Amino acid sequence: MNDELRGIPVLVHPELGNDPAQRQNEVGLVSYTDLANDDIFIQFPDGGQGLYATDALLVLKPVGQIQGFLTEVGPHLAATNLKVLTQIELLLHYGSVEQHMVAMRLAQSNPAIQPWCLETLEHKIAMEQNQNVRR
């Protein structure tokens, strides 16, 4: 799991109360993880770094969940939100790591859609561990 996380885009939780690095609502990439101690090191585009717990970082939901949401609720969304969420889904489905960063930046700049396309890294790890246990 540790190596699988390296290089994924994350958003520092916009409402993070105590952030010594002062990076709330900024996008970065996971550079190193120590899950045993709940330490996630983030590299930011300006060269800065930060250390966060898994519950302080948001990641993009799996593309299948976003597709399901678009199918179920998409027709009832405001056109702007539907457009951005569809762009994120397409970037995740067909895109490279760079395009996943674009998707994360779209989510960052559109708080109204964040509940439909972002989850905490803590939740993502827990869900993946549950899937591995079931196998």
> Tell me: the pLDDT tens digits for 33-82?
999 999 999 999 999 999 999 999 999 999 999 999 999 988 899 999 99
- Beta partners for residue 61, in sequence order: none
Kindly tell me if the per-residue pLDDT of 134 is higher than 80.
no
Q: Which CATH class is domain 2-57?
A: mainly beta
Q: What is the 3-state secondary structure (H, E, C) of 34-47?
A: EHHHCEEEEECCCC
CB 7 within 8 A of CB 97: yes
CA distances from 59 to 18, 78, 107, 121, 134 (A): 19, 23, 10, 6, 23
DSSP output for 59-99: EEPPHHHHHHHHHHHGGGS-HHHHHHHHHHHHHHHH--HHH
Assign residue 83 a region: left if phi > 0, alpha if psi is -120 to 50, beta otherwise? alpha
> Could you state, in order of their start, the residue ranges of all structural domains in the chain?
2-57, 59-134
Contacts of residue 98, defined as CB under 8 A and 6 or more positions apart, other chains included, come to none
Categorize the per-residue pLDDT at 128 as very low, low, confident or very high, splitting at 50, 70 and 90.
confident
Kindly tell me if the per-residue pLDDT of 133 is higher than 70.
no
Mean pLDDT of the chain: 92
User: In the chain, pLDDT over 90 holds for what percent of residues?
Assistant: 83
Phi, psi of 89 (to 5 degrees): -60, -45
